A and B are shown apart, each in its own frame.
Chain A
Amino acid sequence: MSTATSANAKATRPATPFVWRPRVAVAARVLAATVAGYFFAHGLTAFLTLVLPFARADRVIAASMFAFVAWCAVAIYAFAARSAWRAWLWPVLGGAALLGVTLAFPQFAARA
């Protein structure tokens, strides 16, 4: 495996000094996967509950069941994205838009 050889190469070098930049970037992605990913899934659950053409309980369940898959996808994207900045940007924007639309139609979202 290519990663194994690169890890070995690093292992033979003397201890590398503590570097802030990559660590902050990793922390930012971890938080993007968890916090921003959950926020997106939360917004998507609300939005699908608003728009799906089922009875109220069925809308909630279908939306929630799909949301876990969406969260997983966002978490993968958070580490595949070109920058930590993007890993945050799209889930937060998307989640806010989905949640915002749902909050704008509270009665329609709560229809039987």
Chain B
Amino acid sequence: MKDSLIKSMAWLHTWAGLVVGWLLFVIFVGGTIACFDAELDDWTRPSLHGQPPTTQTQFDAAFALSRERAPDAHAWWAHVSGPRERGIESYTLLDDGTQSKVVLDPVSGEPIPGTAGGEFFFVLHYNLHAGTLGMYLVGLAGMLMMVALVAGVLIHKRIFKDFFTFRPRAGGQRAWLDGHNVTGVLGLPFHLMIAYTGVAIFTASYMFGGINAAYGGDIEHFFGEAGDYYHRAETGQPLRQLHSVDALVADAQRRMGVRVEWAAIEHPADSSAVIAFGTDHSRRVAWDMQQVYYDAATGAFLHQTAPPGAGYYTYSWLGGLHMAQFGGSALRWLYFLLGVAGCVMIASGMQVWVAKRAKKVAQAGALSGYGLVLGLNVGVVAGMPLASAALLLANRLLPATLPERAAAEITVFCAVWALATVWGAWRTRQGLGWRDLFGLTALALFALPWVNLATTTHSHLLATIPRGERSLAAVDLSALAFAAAFAWLARRSAVRARAGASQPVPQEA
């Protein structure tokens, strides 16, 4: 459609990037924070802080509570207390696909106050809290990202040289483009990998031509065969008694050769009920999907999954590469920093779009497509970090006894984001939207350790550093570091706004 490949790829990169940029930014921020989802879950549960880690499982206590909450559930599922996350997560899954979660104190087995926690960002990352529709939107965004990356490489004749080129003082489009290129080229292998493995994880939902042809479209049959999972059809007869789950842990660990990380009971009210044990994914790149199964009434061993075939192992490897559970905290920090680079690549790319059209943007005014792009840029890029900081503040400031506490935290997140977007879009007319929101974000993040100090006894820096709880301390210290970064961004935006005011039509590079 354009006269050369490079020109049509430049067009594709520009417009694919613009259309998907805001959504992709949200997915990237969510995924970057979710690198530490378990640590953030732990941070958001101050009632557990200061407790020594326990290796004792609490499956029977957790499932007794599940029976009270949902006796006819499709399945109950409970995790163990671990070094990254002390609370015991316990889920009840109903036949209609809905699930509910409580978190238990690992020592007492009692429920603790609810919180959105790190899991909020993890779910936001893969389905935007919008269920199946959200999962497809995220998948489409991932494919568009792959296309934009490939097109971006094709238009980039000087890809190696640009790696060493950053001219922040050049101003305007030049600086934004350099920033976009540096973060884009630096992170390119990571970005390609993360976009590809991200869509590959949901392959059974996204790319089902093979499952249609080989399994008549039966996704459960496919996964059951690929993973050698065990399943018993329901009998309709009630379960006579439930065998102790904790009593089976030692045998399950002996058979698997690794620590039991979770247990589940499938249709726990039915006489066909099965107790399943599984482990985590921390020892190698590929997910460790092995499971052992016991009869829920007698505790008799039923089945152990066979090692995965080459195909399923490859899939688990790609999924594991995306989820970063295998390399300890050093790898999580690497993914986190590369994720931040991705956020900067996306945000600066959208600024390039605006800077390149600066004259048109200035002429078109606020009520135009350009005005919409300006407003969305500031609302999404500067609004989401502010909303995320507000979510963490709400975790400490909302009363522990509040019913539906996790939902209240999410309401704070959404309300702050909506207000920030309106405010930012309005103030962008005076060129001050970025400064205001970046400045507020810096303040909110700077306040976090102080609010922590004021509201908790075991969770603030003066308590966590002496106890050597580095993950908890890292959240507060990261908040301070990001507060400094956002303060720098706010100051830079203010300087640019003053320069822009004396010079009505922004200079183009």
Contacts and interface: CB of A to CB of B under 8 A. Distances in A.
Contacts of B8: 79-80
Contacts of B211: 60, 64
Contacts of A3: 7, 10-11
Contacts of A54: 310-311
Nearest to A105: B213
B210 interface: yes
**Most A CB atoms within 10 A — which of B11, B173, B209?**
B209
Contacts of B310: 54, 58
Given A61-B315, A62-B311, A76 B151 contact: yes
Contacts of A19: none
Q: Which 9 A-B pairs have the closest CB atoms?
A: A58-B311, A45-B209, A60-B210, A61-B311, A57-B226, A49-B210, A46-B209, A109-B213, A42-B209
Contacts of B210: 45-46, 48-49, 59-61, 63-64, 67
A50 B312 contact: no
Given A11-B360, A64-B203, A57 B1 contact: no
A83 to B, nearest CB: 8
Contacts of A26: 1
Given A34-B140, A79-B11, A84-B1, 16 more contacts: A1-B10, A4-B173, A4-B356, A8-B508, A26-B1, A43-B209, A48-B210, A55-B311, A61-B311, A62-B311, A64-B200, A64-B211, A65-B314, A67-B209, A72-B143, A83-B1
Given A26-B1, A58-B312, A59-B311, A7 B212 contact: no
Given A25-B1, A58-B311, A109-B214, A63 B209 contact: yes
A50 B203 contact: no
Interface of B: 1, 5, 7-12, 140, 143, 146-147, 150-151, 154, 173, 196, 199-200, 203-204, 206-216, 222, 225-226, 309-312, 314-315, 318, 356-357, 359-360, 508
Contacts of B11: 3, 79
B12 A46 contact: no
Nearest to A73: B150
A10 to B, nearest CB: 9
B216 A110 contact: yes
Interface in A22-61: 22, 25-26, 29, 33-34, 41-46, 48-50, 54-61
A33 to B, nearest CB: 7
Contacts of A25: 1
A59 B1 contact: no
A75 B143 contact: yes
Nearest to B361: A11
A52 B7 CA distance: 38
A110 B207 contact: no
Contacts of A1: 10
Contacts of B196: 68-69
A62 B204 CA distance: 12
B318 to A, nearest CB: 7
A72 B213 CA distance: 22
Contacts of B146: 68, 72
Nearest to B352: A4
A17 to B, nearest CB: 16
Contacts of B214: 49, 56, 59-60, 109-110
Given A75-B147, A84-B1, A57 B207 contact: no
Contact of B200 (A33, A45, A68, A99): A68
Given A2-B7, A11-B357, A65-B200, A110 B143 contact: no
A44 B12 CA distance: 24
B506 to A, nearest CB: 12
A25 B151 CA distance: 19
Contacts of A65: 200, 203, 314-315, 318
B150 A76 contact: yes
A103 to B, nearest CB: 8
